[in-house]
Structure 1
Amino acid sequence: MIDTSKETLEAEQRFLTGENFYVQHFLGVRKIESGYVFRVWAPHARQVYLVGDFNNWDESLPMEKREESGVWELSSSLPVEGQLYKFLVEQANGRKIMKIDPFAIRFEKRPGTAAEIYTIADKKWQDNLWRGRQKKTRSLRRPLNIYEVHASSWQHHEDGQPYTFKELKEALIPYVKEMNYTHIEFLPLMEHPLGASWGYQLTGFFALSSYYGTPEEFRDFVDSCHENNIGVFVDWVPGHFCVNEDTLPYYDGTPTFEYEDPNRARNNRWGTICFDLGKPQVQSFLISSALFWLEVYHLDGMRVDAVSSMLYLDYDEGPWEPNHEGGNRNFEGFYFLQKLNAVIKLAFPQTIMMAEESSSETQITGMIESGALGFDYKWNMGWMNDVLRFYEMDPVFRKENFHLLTFSFMYMMDEHYILPFSHDEVVHGKKSLMHKMWGDRYKQFAHLRNMYTFMIAHPGKKLLFMGSEWGQFLEWRYNEGLVWSNLEDEMNAKMQHFTAMLNALYKEERSLWELEDTAETIELIDADNTDESVLTFIRKSKTKKDFLIVALNLSPVERQDFSIGVPYPGSYREVLNTERVEFGGTWTKNNPTCESIEQPFKHFNQQIQTILPSLGALIIKPEDIQMK
Structure 2
Amino acid sequence: LKRVRAFLPHAGQAWLVGLQGPAAGRPQPMRRTHAAGLYEAYTTSGIAADYQLRVHDPDRGTRDIHDPYAFPTMLTDYDLHLLGEGSHWKSYEKLGAQLREVDGISGVNFAVWAPNAAAVSVVGDFNNWDGRVHQMHKRIPSGVWELFIPGIQPGAAYKYRVQSDEGTADRADPYGVAAEVPPRTASRVADLAAYVWGDDTWMDRRRHRDWLAEPISIYEVHLGSWRRPGDDPTRWLTYADLQRELVPYCIEMGFTHVEFLPPTEHPLSASWGYQTIGMFAATSRFGGPEDLMALIDSLHQAGIGVIIDWVPAHFPKDGHGLRRFDGTALYEHEDPRLGEHPDWGTLIFNYGRNEVANYLISSALFWLDRYHIDGLRVDAVASMLYLDYSRKDGEWLPNCFGGRENLEAIEFLKQFNIQVHHHFPGVLTIAEESTAWPGVSRPTYTGGLGFSLKWNMGWMNDTLRYMRHDPIHRKYHHDELTFSLIYAFHENFVLPLSHDEVVHGKGSLLDQMPGDHWQKFANLRLLYA
Q: TM (normalized to structure 1)?
A: 0.70
Q: How many positions carry a matched residue from both structures?
A: 452
Change in Cα spacing, 1:395 to 1:446, as seen in structure 2 (3 Å) is same
Alignment counterpart, residue 275 of structure 1, candidates 349, 352, 365: 349
Helix, strand or coil at the partner of 1:414: coil
Cα distance in 2 for residues equivalent to 1:357 and 1:178? 31
Specify the alignment match of 1:289 in structure 2. Answer: 363
Change in Cα spacing, 1:259 to 1:448, as seen in structure 2 (3 Å) is same
Cα distance in 1 for residues equivalent to 2:524 and 2:131? 61
Helix, strand or coil at the partner of 2:76: helix
Query: Do structure 1's residue 77 and structure 2's residue 145 form an aligned pair?
Result: no
Alignment counterpart, residue 496 of structure 2, candidates 420, 426, 429: 420
Cα distance in 2 for residues equivalent to 1:126 and 1:81? 23
Q: CA RMSD in A?
A: 1.6
Alignment counterpart, residue 24 of structure 1, candidates 69, 92, 96: 92
Query: Do structure 1's residue 190 and structure 2's residue 270 form an aligned pair?
Result: no
Equivalent residues of 2:160, 2:173 under 8 A apart: yes
Note the 1:48-87 alignment, pairs <5 A.
48-60=120-132, 61-77=134-150, 79-87=152-160
Specify the alignment match of 1:12 in structure 2. Answer: 80
**What is the CA-CA distance between 1:185 and the residue it aligns to?**
0.4
Alignment counterpart, residue 254 of structure 1, candidates 328, 334, 346: 328
CA deviations on 1:268-302 (whole Å, 9 max, x unpaired) are 20111111011100111111111110011111111
Query: Do structure 1's residue 200 and structure 2's residue 285 form an aligned pair?
Result: no
**What is the CA-CA distance between 1:396 and the residue it aligns to?**
4.2
Query: Do structure 1's residue 43 and structure 2's residue 115 form an aligned pair?
Result: yes
Cα distance in 2 for residues equivalent to 1:363 and 1:75? 46
Cα distance in 2 for residues equivalent to 1:408 and 1:317? 28
Alignment counterpart, residue 188 of structure 2, candidates 116, 123, 146: 116
**What is the CA-CA distance between 1:262 and the residue it aligns to?**
2.1
Specify the alignment match of 2:423 in structure 1. Answer: 347
Query: What 5-or-longer segments of structure 2 have no aligned partner?
Result: 1-68
Note the 1:512-523 alignment, pairs <5 A.
none
**What is the CA-CA distance between 1:331 and the residue it aligns to?**
0.4
Amino acid at match of 2:253: M
Helix, strand or coil at the partner of 1:197: coil
**What is the CA-CA distance between 1:306 and the residue it aligns to?**
0.4
Cα distance in 1 for residues equivalent to 2:129 and 2:71? 25
Query: Do structure 1's residue 129 and structure 2's residue 201 form an aligned pair?
Result: yes
CA deviations on 1:105-152 (whole Å, 9 max, x unpaired) are 010111000011221243332222222333333111111000100001
Helix, strand or coil at the partner of 2:111: strand
Specify the alignment match of 1:362 in structure 2. Answer: 438
Helix, strand or coil at the partner of 1:148: strand
Equivalent residues of 1:106, 1:117 under 8 A apart: yes
Query: What 5-or-longer segments of structure 1 have no aligned partner?
Result: 454-628
Query: Do structure 1's residue 436 and structure 2's residue 504 form an aligned pair?
Result: no
**What is the CA-CA distance between 1:3 and the residue it aligns to?**
7.9
Specify the alignment match of 2:28 in structure 1. Answer: none
Change in Cα spacing, 1:3 to 1:288, as seen in structure 2 (3 Å) is farther
Query: Do structure 1's residue 377 and structure 2's residue 450 form an aligned pair?
Result: no
In percent, how many aligned pairs have the same letter?
44
Helix, strand or coil at the partner of 1:104: coil
Specify the alignment match of 1:406 in structure 2. Answer: 482
Amino acid at match of 1:363: G
Amino acid at match of 2:471: P
Cα distance in 2 for residues equivalent to 1:344 and 1:322? 30
**What is the CA-CA distance between 1:7 and the residue it aligns to?**
5.9
Amino acid at match of 2:92: Q
Helix, strand or coil at the partner of 1:360: coil
Cα distance in 2 for residues equivalent to 1:266 and 1:285? 19
Q: TM (normalized to structure 2)?
A: 0.83
Helix, strand or coil at the partner of 1:196: coil
**What is the CA-CA distance between 1:367 and the residue it aligns to?**
0.9
- Which portions of structure 1, spanning 4 or more consecutive aligned residues, are displaced by more than 4 angstroms? 1-7
**What is the CA-CA distance between 1:263 and the residue it aligns to?**
1.7
Helix, strand or coil at the partner of 2:153: coil
Specify the alignment match of 1:302 in structure 2. Answer: 376
**What is the CA-CA distance between 1:350 and the residue it aligns to?**
0.5
